[in-house]
Structure 1
Amino acid sequence: TPLLTRVTTDYSESVAMAQQADIFTCSWGPPDDGISALGPLTLAQKVISGQAEKGRSGLGSLFVWAAGNGGKTFDDCALDGFVSNPNIIGRGKELEQSNGTAPPDSEGCPAILTSVVADNLGEQVSVDSRGQCSPAFYGSSAAAPVVAAGLAILLEKYPKLTRRQINHLIVHGANAEHYQKFAASDWTKNAAGLNFNRLLGFGVFSVERMLALVSSLANPAPEHLQCVKRFQIQDGSNTFGELAAQLSVKSCDVKYLEHLEVGVTLVHPRRGDIRIRLRSPAGTWVTALERRPLDTTSTGLEWNFTISHFWGEDPTGDWVIEFDDKLPSKKRGKILAVSLILHGTIQPSFSKAKQFSLDEAAAGRSSHSWLLAMLFLVLFSLVVYGGLEYLGIQRRIRRSESSWRILEEADEEEHNGAQLISVLFLLMKRISCWRWT
């Protein structure tokens, strides 16, 4: 029975995601109402974590999750616990327009890795939750299966890639150039040199560029490391209208950050008035949570935010977390606890020996492409050389033909001259004979 044809429970979600599948594409989640803050419960979370670690024969199953269509209600997928989850690969696939703008119902959050150009996705026919044909399938729900199909192509050629390696290929293979020329001001470059956007992730999903990058992956892949840092905000300094707290990260082996989980526990009479930002030691600012005007929840917030846009940075040093209330003068909020969980490696995930070709590969020009280009150049040179030789031979043939014609004309003139002399000689003999007789 399809999951969404009935009321879903923690058990039904866990059963659906416990199947032996390489790729799960999920176009569902909490309501896009700008109010909810929901995610997987205990069983579902356990299954997702287990599949991400042990699925696909230990390489890690791939979960592709749609970011949501709550832009018009000012929703934020940072409070969608399925999208904002470190075990979900390529989370939050946005439906973007080819003119470089995001549709008005797009949701943004720092967990989004990539996006797709899909103006015409709504024209395809699909199956709805009742098993009926649907002529209109659109939104981020339609974009997620497109990415899942691209990942299937990647695994068809390279079935031994791990989930984390695929994460790196998605991030470095994403093409930000398509959108940057339309809205350059909406893009930020992190300290690792990667451009990111809160709606579009690191750019347009590209299977071609991912395939070109595979040869640059470090072999063996560097070990995944994790550091957990917990911070207590002292009484008296934990109330906020505007509060910036420094979080020092030392003695952590992670030098190349992948995902960052930010745990926050706070109380506030109106949750939707809060905005949370984070600054890395290298100076990159990322908005963990935007304000949600419709969210009037008064119970505060206890949540783990997944942030991917610091990808590749060195997390060692002083982080700054900033809490900003819409009405700062009233100081209505109180911070209870903050934690950081850093996921990454001590070594780069792309080999240094092949680092020089990373930019070319990311631009879709692999070493095989260069080989083909050189082969084409050689063939072109041979064709040009052969053509010039042919023209030279033709010129020499024409010269030879002209020379033969000249020789033939000279021979003919010489033959005619000899005949004339013979006739004159005979005539002279006749005249001589006539005279003597």
Structure 2
Amino acid sequence: MNDNDANPEPPYSKISENRHGTRCAGVAAAVANNTVCGVGVAFQAKIGIRMLDGHVTDLLEAKSLNFNQQHIHIYSASWGPKDDGKTVDGPGTLASKALIQGISNGRGGLGSIYVWASGNGGTSFDNCNCDGYSSSIYTVSVGSATERGTVPYYSEPCSAIITTTYSGGSWHHRRIVTTDVWHSCTSDYTGTSASAPLAAGIIALALEANHYYGYGLLDAVRLVDLARKWDPVQPQRKCLTDVITSPHELSGKLMLKWNETACLRTKNWIRSLEHVQARLTLTYTHRGALAIILTSPMGTRPFDTSRKGYYNWAFMSTHSWDEDPSGLWTLQIENHGDSSNRASHSTHWTIDKRCQMGWSGQQQ
């Protein structure tokens, strides 16, 4: 897509060498018995296009996310905004529309599947809710676990992550074996960039078992087994609830409580929650001192820490998946910094019948 040619290979230049896509592709779909390196998870799958190389624009992202969408089933993305604990960024106008177009019309109307790496900013106290790609309700956000099942040092705490797969950790942990540029092999691939294509490969196996296609570490065998007998869910429903519409001063803690009906007695009524989003416009001198805590009627409490100000930014959680959203919800915004700091915000809640916050989910 970058060079507007049909060659998906990265540049073979000692000055500008991009190994990233080749390594991701090998994790997901390296062919069996290739005599070069290890085998990919879905070794009969095919690799599509090269997007992240050279200058990237909103238009280029949009074209890539919708490219050949009736033929490509899964889009695996191991990229996003800087994981520096400072950057708050996400898809632009065109890329946002492309994601909706893909999940609505891709794959013969079943929806394109977008798998996204959650990010490697753990050491910078980053949070993937500040990454609008990974925290989108239209993507599957994937984190990492070490070979011992522990949390790696680069992992970002984030309520938007829906699953994890294995990757590397510290220097004494084994890392991922995959293909590399110059027709070589590496045993040193790590980070959530390796976890996302691993998840994409597992999902590809599930699609082989059932093209209609959990929490914790992805189990490929169980996922494929479930896919064989899986019934398609109903169309996504969305419900919006206004919680705050006027400015509020935040000193120590702001606690909001309300009884949610989840659009009862309307066509958007949700009984099985998927995504929850809290959309905030917030001004603050040091957003790293703020904590945003949401508690569902069943007591589920995802924890989000945040940095800098936010304008109409959606924080997303998958931690209440399959819960009934009706009942008493609590939203807390806590100031862990100087009490002289002030925050003015308007909060827009949406309840979707699938998985979003707002509310996103199903009636069943």
TM-score range, shorter chain: 0.7 to 0.9
Partner of 1:239: 250
Partner of 1:363: none
2:96 and 2:146 mapped to 1: Cα distance? 33
Which has the larger Rg?
1
Partner of 1:345: 362
Cα contact 1:257–1:313 (8 A) shared by 2: yes
CA drift at 1:3: 2.6
2:331 and 2:220 mapped to 1: Cα distance? 35
Q: Per-residue CA shift, 1:34-73, capped at 9, x if unaligned?
A: 1000000000010011101110000001111001111111
Partner of 1:157: 209
2:229 and 2:333 mapped to 1: Cα distance? 40
Cα contact 1:70–1:76 (8 A) shared by 2: yes
Determine whether 1:227 maps to 2:281: no
1:142 and 1:245 mapped to 2: Cα distance? 39
Unaligned runs of 5+ in 2: 4-49, 169-173, 351-357
Structure 1: 4+ residue segments shifted above 6 A: none
Partner of 1:263: 279
TM superposition score normalised by structure 1: 0.63
1:11 and 1:204 mapped to 2: Cα distance? 34
Percent sequence identity is: 30
Q: Which has the higher strand share?
A: 2
* Partner secondary structure for residue 108 of structure 2: coil
CA drift at 1:139: 0.9
CA drift at 1:338: 3.4
AA in 2 matched with 1:330: S
2:185 and 2:85 mapped to 1: Cα distance? 27
AA in 2 matched with 1:281: P
2:64 and 2:218 mapped to 1: Cα distance? 26
Is 149-158 or 57-66 further displaced after alignment? Answer: 149-158
Determine whether 1:55 maps to 2:106: yes
Q: Per-residue CA shift, 1:207-257, capped at 9, x if unaligned?
A: 211223236544x6334322111222555x543421111233124321110
Partner of 1:115: 164
Q: What is the total number of aligned residue pairs between the two structures?
A: 295
AA in 1 matched with 2:256: A
AA in 2 matched with 1:310: S
1:283 and 1:328 mapped to 2: Cα distance? 29
Cα contact 1:125–1:134 (8 A) shared by 2: yes
Partner of 1:364: none
CA drift at 1:113: 1.0
Cα contact 2:206–2:227 (8 A) shared by 1: no
1:18 and 1:214 mapped to 2: Cα distance? 25
Determine whether 1:329 maps to 2:344: no
CA 1:336–1:221 in 2, change beyond 3 Å: closer, same or farther? closer
Determine whether 1:305 maps to 2:357: no
AA in 2 matched with 1:332: R
Cα contact 2:163–2:218 (8 A) shared by 1: yes
1:26 and 1:227 mapped to 2: Cα distance? 28
TM superposition score normalised by structure 2: 0.75
Determine whether 1:290 maps to 2:338: no
Map 1:33-432; keep pairs closer than 5 Å.
33-88=84-139, 90-91=140-141, 93-119=142-168, 120-127=174-181, 135=186, 136-161=188-213, 171=214, 202-214=215-227, 217-218=230-231, 221-234=233-246, 238-250=249-261, 251-252=263-264, 253-287=269-303, 289-291=304-306, 295=307, 297=308, 299-327=309-337, 329-340=339-350, 341-347=358-364
Q: Which has the higher helix share?
A: 1
1:132 and 1:325 mapped to 2: Cα distance? 52
Cα contact 1:64–1:144 (8 A) shared by 2: yes
CA 1:332–1:134 in 2, change beyond 3 Å: closer, same or farther? farther
2:148 and 2:233 mapped to 1: Cα distance? 37
* Partner secondary structure for residue 272 of structure 1: helix
Q: Per-residue CA shift, 1:353-387, capped at 9, x if unaligned?
A: xxxxxxxxxxxxxxxxxxxxxxxxxxxxxxxxxxx
